[in-house]
Amino acid sequence: MSGASIYASRRAGSLYIAPFAIGFLLFTAFPFIASFILSLTDARLQDQLGDAHFIGWSNYAGMWSDATFRKSLGVTFFYVFVTVPLKLAFALLIAVVLNFKLRGIGLFRTAFYLPSILGGSVAIAVVWRFVFAGDGLVNQFLHGAGIGGVNWLGEPSTAMFSIILLRLWQFGSAMVVFLAGLKAIPEDLYEAADIDGASRLRQFWMITLPLLTPVLFFNFIMQIVQAFQEFNGPYIITGGGPMKSTYLLPLMIYEEAFKYFNLGYSSALSWVLFVIIALFTALAFWSQRFWVFYAQERSDKGGH
C-alpha cells in the first residue's frame, strides 16, 4: 500500500476492520467449527444440546449406507456438472453476440440480465412451477402443436430438466461479466489479427478466449459455488421429488435438520458439502496456472 502516514495508524485501521473481525468470529468461524463438532454428535433439534452424545464418525460412516444421501449426492453432482458448463457456454455465446456496436444492444443486455436478478425469488419459482405444471404453459403449447402433454414435474428426468432450465435461464450475470471482459480486450489486437489474415473463428480461439480466461475463471468459481448451494428452486418447484430426483444436498441438509430434527447428521452432511465445494475451488485455483492467462503481473498498486 502507499506509504502515506495518514494511513499508517494501525490502531485506526484495526478499528475500521473490527466489525468484520468480530462478525467473522461470531457468525462465521464459530458456527463453522461448531457445525463440525455437532457433526460428531447425535444432537436433536428439540433437545437441549447438553443431552447430545459424541458418537465419533458415525454420522459420516452412516452416509454410505444411506440410500437417500447417495441419491442426493448423485443428483447434486449431475445438477452442477450439467448446469455450470452449459450456463457458462451460453453466457459466453450471448456475450459474444452482444459485443457488437449495434443500436439497441443495451436493451438486449437488460433483457438477458433481468432473469438472473429475479431468478432466485420465490415468485419466479412459483411461475416456473406453473409453466411446467400438467396444465401449465409448456403443455398448453404442446397441445397447440398437437403433441400430448408431458408430466414435467412428475417424472424424475423431466423434473430435473425443469430445475436445470431455471438455472440456465439465469445466465445473465455471468454474461454481463463476460461482456465486460470482452470490452476490455483492445480493438487493435483484432485489427492486427485481421492484417495477419486470421479468420474470425481463429481470432476467437487465439485472442478472445485466452484473454478472457481470468473472467472465465471468476465466473467458473462463482457458478460452482452457487450451483452447489441451490435451494429455492427445487424446494418450491418439486420439493425435491419425484422420488428424490431433484433432492439436492442443500435440501437434504435443511430437511434433516428442520424436518427430521437430526442436527448431528445434518451438520455432517453440510460438512460433506463444504468439503466438496472446497475441493472444487482448490482444484480450480490450483489449475489456474495451466489455463488462466493474466496479461499483466498482478502487484499491489500505489506507493512512491
Partner 1 sequence: MNTSSVILDQVTKSFSGHDVIKGVSLEVKKGELVVFVGPSGCGKSTLLRLIAGLETPSSGRIDIAGENVTYAHPSKRGVAMVFQSYALYPHMTVEDNIGFALRIKGMPRVEIKLKVRAVAETLQLGHLLHRLPKALSGGQRQRVAIGRAMVREPDVFLFDEPLSNLDASLRGQMRVEIAGLHARLGATSVYVTHDQVEAMTLADKIVVLNGGRIEQAGPPMELYRRPANLFVATFIGSPGMNILPATLAGAERDQVTVTTAQGPISLPRVNANIVTGAEVSLGLRPESLSLTTAGKGQLSGYVNLIERLGGETFAYIALKGFEAPPIIVRLDGDVELRVHDEVHLAIDGQRAHLFGADGLALGHVPDTKERG
Partner 2 sequence: MSTASVHGWRRHLPLINAFIRYGLLIGIGFLMLYPLFWMIGGAFKNNHEIFASPGFIPAHPTTDGFTKGWKTSTEYTFATYLLNTMKIVIPKVILTVISSVIVAYGFARFAIPGRKLLFALLMATVLLPKSVLLIPQYLMFREFGWLDTYLPLYIPQAFAVEGFFVFLIIQFMRSLPVDMEEAAVMDGCNSFQVLTLIVCPVILPAIISVALFQFMWSMNDFLQPLIYLSSVEKYPVALALKMSIDVTEATSWNEILAMSVIALAPSLILFFVAQKYFVEGVTSGAVKG
Applying CB under 8 A, which residues contact partner 1? Answer: 3-6, 8, 304
Q: Which does 147 bind (CB under 5 to 8 A by kind): partner 2, partner 1, none?
A: none
The number of residues that bind partner 2 (CB under 8 A) is: 98
User: What is the footprint of partner 2 within residues 33-72 (CB under 8 A)?
Assistant: 34-35, 38, 49
Question: Smallest distance, Å, CB 238 to partner 2?
Answer: 12
User: What is the footprint of partner 2 within residues 190-209 (CB under 8 A)?
Assistant: none
Q: Which does 304 bind (CB under 5 to 8 A by kind): partner 2, partner 1, none?
A: partner 1
Of 126, 129, 221, 223, give the one whose Cα is nearest residue 170. 223
Question: Smallest distance, Å, CB 241 to partner 2?
Answer: 14
- Quick check: 231 binds partner 2 (CB under 8 A)? yes
- Quick check: 127 binds partner 2 (CB under 8 A)? yes
Q: Of 203, 221, 241, 288, which one interacts with partner 2 (CB under 8 A)?
A: 221
Of 83, 81, 109, 107, give the one whose Cα is nearest residue 96. 109
Taking the least distance from each CB to partner 2, the nearer of 115 and 154 is 115
Taking the least distance from each CB to partner 1, the nearer of 103 and 304 is 304
Spatial CB neighbours of 271, under 8 Å, sequence gap ≥ 6: 35, 36, 39
Spatial CB neighbours of 70, under 8 Å, sequence gap ≥ 6: 63, 64
Q: Is the dihedral of CA 144, 149, 150, 151 positive or negative?
A: positive
